[in-house]
Structure formats: C-alpha cells, structure tokens
Structure 1
Amino acid sequence: MELFDAYRHCRLCPRRCGTDRTRGENKGFCGETGELRIAYVGPHFGEEPPLTGTRGSGTVFFSGCSLRCSFCQNHQISHDGIGRKFSCQELAEALKDLAVRTRVHNLNFVTPDHFLPHLERTVELIRQEGVPTPIMLNLSGYQSIEFLKISSGFTDIYLPDYKYSESRLAALLSSCPDYPRKALDAITEMVKQKGFLDAQCEGAIASKGVLARHLILPGHVENSINAITNLYLEFGSELPLSLMSQYQPLKEHKDASLNRRISIEEFERVYGHCLDLGFENLFIQFPEDNCLSVDGRSAFVPDFTSSTPFYFPGHSSVDNDGGGLLKKSHSSDFH
C-alpha cells in the first residue's frame, strides 16, 4: 500500500469519516483534501519553557483540524482554511533551515493527524539530511491508537491536550462525545511509548517524553477539576502538566459563559486543585500574564494573515530568557 493511499478512504483520526480526499476537492471532516497545506512555518516562543528554551520551537501550523473546536484560537486555519500548498521537500527544506540556521530546540507539528502520510515522508527527508533535532507532535488529545503507533517511530515528544472530562461539553464544543475516553486512552499510549517529559530541572531543555495540557474554559470549572482529577488518577502526580488560562472569546457563543475570559476565582479554584493533588511538574499560565500588544493583539491568538502571526514580548530575537508566557509552578505562586 502506498503511503498516500491513506487519504483514499480516510481513517486517520477517530472520526473515521471515510472521505476519499484524493478526488478533486473532496474534503474530510478536517476541512482538507489530500494536498498538504500549511499556514505557518517558523520559530515559536509560546510553548512551555523546556520546549521553547532560548531559541524557540520550530513550528508547523497545518491548515485544517480533525477536532475543530468552536472556540479555537487558531480558527483562521482550523475553520477558515488559511494556508498554502507545500510539498514534502519544500517543508523539509524549511525545517532543516530552522534546525541548522535558527537552531530551534525541536520541530513542532501542530495538529498534524489529518496529514500523517505527508508528516511521515517529511520527517524521513529531514533525517536523511542528518538533522537530529527532536520531533514533537502538538496534539488535540483526540488521536487514534493506530495513529500513535505509526507516529511512535519518528516522534520524540508528545504535547497532548486533555480538554474535556464531560462528554456533554465535548459534544457541544467539539462534536465528539467520546473525547474524554479517547483522549485518556491516547495519552496512555503516548506515555507508554515515551514516558514523562525528560526536563524536570529549571532551565532544562526536553528531548523526549509527554507533557499534557489543559485549557480552563470560563463557566466550566467542574470540567477542569474533573479533567485534572482524571489525569491524576491515570498517571499520578509526576505527570508533567501545563495549566492554561489563555481562553479568549473570538465569536458569540450560545453558551453565554464562553463570551468572556476566565475569572481569577475560576483560575484559582483549578490551580488550587492541582496543588492539592500534589502535581510535581506543573507549568502555569497565570491570567495576569495573558498580555496584549499596543494594537490589542493577544500573545495567544495568532493572526495567520500576517507574516508574523505571533506577538510575544521580549521574543523578537533569539536573545531571550525562554519559556514564552508559561512558568514552572511552585507552591508559593498560589495567591
């Protein structure tokens, strides 16, 4: 079977839509045909400190998405179709440049599920060129075990979300009521393959392992508390966990609670729960750190119509202290 035949009756994500993405303009649930399209390739300084370091993460933002959350901060690419066609060779050359010239700490593929055959081929090409930079998959959590078994051969770091503990909320916001179980199974497989992230000391740069993320949604604190509890029960307090507070409403939602940012009280309830459970490797995005630029741009809401989609203060060059806007947590941080 040819590598790209996987697009003919697409089963690359758990939705298993079965679309023949090789025929004309046929698109899967992800919104994409079988032609590789990408919105941005370049250094990115918004990941956790062990992943961003001082030189950034060499990041690929693919067009389309297999999850397509209604509140997505990257809606321009997940819903609106921004991006241009790339060949595997063209992408491999861009990544080699990032690895060799910019010396990024990792090559970071954001929600690549629906382009797995292209991803496999691209990684093969850069490895043939002698590029040893760690490969990171930045994932929604809604991955099939089949996808993960294939990706295990070329992936060093997994960065999965665990968005929902509630099937009802997963159905409402992402049309996938099976998300809570699917995501836990997927993260279990990731940990089985790679273990926990191998950068536990301050200033260390990761080369292998798993770091899980959770985004707090306004008005849905119980979803967050239960999600954190699920992760604790499955993986224990040593699981590297990133707690994010960056939610920003980008459109009007029927659920009125989603039409605002999270409150300090909501954040502190969830953060306090993480501390109560004793998470030892906790990264925190404090609400007060979700800064805006002079033109009102949020550091965590990219503009993919711009040649510089991201605004990260102090990260305009490689001379910075690393870490984007996420911090390693200590119990004394709680207030």
Structure 2
Amino acid sequence: MTLSIGLKYALKFLKKEQKPEGLNFFKKKEERMSKEPIYLMTLEKGYLLKKVEEAKKHITNCNLCPHKCGVNRMEEVGICKANHRAIVSSYGPHLGEESVLVGQRGSGTLFFGYCNLSCVYCQNHELSVYGEGETVSNERLARMMLALQNDYGCHNINLVTPTHFVPNILEAVYLAAQNGLKLPIVYNSGGYESLETLRLLEGVIDIYMPDFKYSSTEYGKRYSKVPDYPERAKEALEEMDRQVGGLQVDSGNIAYRGLLIRHLMLPGGLEDTKGVLEFIKKKLSPNVLVNLMNQYYPAHKAVEYEELRERLSFMEYEEAYNYGVKLGLRLAK
C-alpha cells in the first residue's frame, strides 16, 4: 500500500531524535529484540500502515467499541461525544501510576477527552464527560509522544481512555515510530472494548492496562450505563491476554510487555470484587499483574446513590486483598 500524501508531508515535520544505545549495543540481538516495542516490528513488516488505513474506516462508520454507534464522526457524534479529531487534556510524566510503569522518570501519560462509559463515580469527569482539553492533529499527537520520550525521558507512552481515538493513535504511532519512538505503548482503558478494535491494536500495543470494573451485569447497568459490561470486559481481557500474556519487567522492574488489570473496589462491592478476582484466576495467565485499588471516593454523581456515598472500608479492602492472595494472584503492592 502506498503512503498517503498527508502522511508523507507529516513525516517531514517530525524531528528524528534518537538517543544512542550505548552499552545496550553490546547485548545479544535476541535479547534486544525481545524487549523492543512490538510496533517497530509491525512497522518493519509493512503492517502498521495497513492498520492505520483500516482504523480510519471507523471515522465515517464508527464501531470502535461495543456501543457500535455507526455514526459518521466527520458530521456527528455518538455516545462517547467525540468527533474525528483527538482531544488531549494533558500530557507529561506521571508519577501516580503503578511502580512498574513509573520507575524513576515517570509514565508518559496522554490523557484523552471523553469516554465510551458513563461511570457515575468517575474521578476524571471533567475529561470523560465534558471533554476538556485541546483538539490536536495526529501529527501533533506524534510529536507529543516523541517529546515524552526525548524531552521528558519517560519509560513508556501511556494512553489514558484511548478507545474512541484509536484511528488517531495508530496514525500517530506510525509517524512517531519512523522518527525514533522506541518506548513501550500502554493502552489504559475502561475495559469496555470490542474484539475488532483490539485485533487492530495487535502488534502495536505492548502493555494493556484495562479496568475490570464489575463482574455483575447489574453493576455495569447502574454505575456505568452499559447493558453488557462483564461480557465485553471478559472477552476483551482474554483477547489482551492472548496478545501479550502476563506482565514482563526488565532488570529495573520496569514493565515492557504484558497485561496489568486494575479493579477499583466500590463500597459494599466485596462479592462483585471476588467475582472479578475469580475470573482472572480461572481464565487468564498466572503472571497477569492485578492492582486491587482502594482509592474510591464519592466523585461526580456518586452522592446520588446512597450505597456510594461512603468511602471503602479498610475491612472490605483487606478481605478482598486476602482473597486475591488465597487465589494465588500476582497482586500489585
């Protein structure tokens, strides 16, 4: 497939800023390649541009997520409210992520506006609901990725709430990879994903970091306003696991490939949490890393739900954590 005119011109405006490998040059080729971001191999084989072109079809008939709105995003918006141009709320090194992502120099986060879920307790509702941020071109998005690597020295590119902007992200990765990007890419999502989109991302995403919010369909309906959250999340998790397997870290304990699952415990949700942990144990690779989170507080519309007005109790969290230990899960500390 020939390179589109737009991409040819975009490449001229992106700087090549690769740092020398230094002592890494003397490592065995096999070892270097095993830790090299997967998208570089996909680019080399000529598949990455094909993925860009395939993803762009969703701009005029969007079925990127399980909502399958089918809208032409050049003219209208679907449930997520996003049009065809990416919105970036902020970007830079983030020190508040899991230690395997943060290391010494931070995780290079790109926070996107809007979301395909409507969680009533969302702690980032200014971004997810109101879409606060700057509209950026795909070329600008590529330059942001390169800045996170070359200017900030981050350990990875962390795409936060990326699902509805997958076409933009794929083109940005395509551009940045040809101009020296060599960091692992983290897909940090709410877990409500379509298999078709995940297969577009195969060979591009190094680390999947989805939420697994609920094992209960009723919780998904009540708190995130989707009819089928557990079903879609479970099949998405199995697909992510098939692609990248358990989480792998280097000698500095920095993740470079694999699956890391987050679960935010809700007050009174102990049994639902146990269902989440049981699924992970039964269906996914043993080295998947699980972050059982206790940071819940009643944000956004949570105060409208009596059961969500209080913070999570220490006893509930401790029981859930001990249950994960009993199951033999690899839990984040």
Give the TM-score range, shorter chain.
0.7 to 0.9
Q: How does 1:176-255 map to 2 (within 5 A)?
A: 176-199=226-249, 203-235=252-284, 237-250=286-299, 251-255=301-305
Shift of 1:5: 3.3
Q: Is the 8 A contact 1:55 1:104 kept in 2?
A: yes
1:67 and 2:120 equivalent?
Answer: no
1:332 — aligned with what?
none
Q: Distance in 1 between matches of 2:208 and 2:184?
A: 11
SS of corresponding position for 1:185: helix
Q: Distance in 2 between matches of 1:177 and 1:233?
A: 24
CA-based RMSD: 1.6
The one of 113, 126, 149 equivalent to 1:76 is 126
1:292 — aligned with what?
none
TM-score (norm: length of structure 1): 0.80
Q: Distance in 2 between matches of 1:59 and 1:252?
A: 26
The one of 44, 56, 61 equivalent to 1:9 is 61
1:297 — aligned with what?
none
The one of 150, 162, 168 equivalent to 1:118 is 168
Q: Is the 8 A contact 1:161 1:213 kept in 2?
A: yes
TM-score (norm: length of structure 2): 0.81
Q: Which amino acid aligns with 2:78?
A: G
1:40 and 2:94 equivalent?
Answer: no
Aligned length: 280
Q: Distance in 2 between matches of 1:191 and 1:19?
A: 30
Shift of 1:33: 1.2
Q: Distance in 2 between matches of 1:223 and 1:259?
A: 18
Q: Distance in 2 between matches of 1:100 and 1:9?
A: 36
Shift of 1:282: 0.9
Q: Distance in 1 between matches of 2:285 and 2:275?
A: 14
> Any idea what the Cα deviations from partners look like across 1:47-85, whole Å, max 9, x if unmatched?
111111110111111110011211111100111221111
**CA spacing shift, 1:124–1:277, aligned 2, 3 Å:** same
The one of 103, 117, 135 equivalent to 1:85 is 135
Shift of 1:139: 1.4
Instruction: List runs of 5+ in structure 1 lacking aligned partners.
Output: 284-327, 329-335
The one of 109, 112, 115 equivalent to 2:159 is 109
Higher normalized helix content (fraction of residues): 2
SS of corresponding position for 1:160: coil
Q: Distance in 1 between matches of 2:217 and 2:253?
A: 37
Q: Is the 8 A contact 1:237 1:277 kept in 2?
A: no
Q: Distance in 1 between matches of 2:302 and 2:213?
A: 20
Pair member with larger Rg? 2
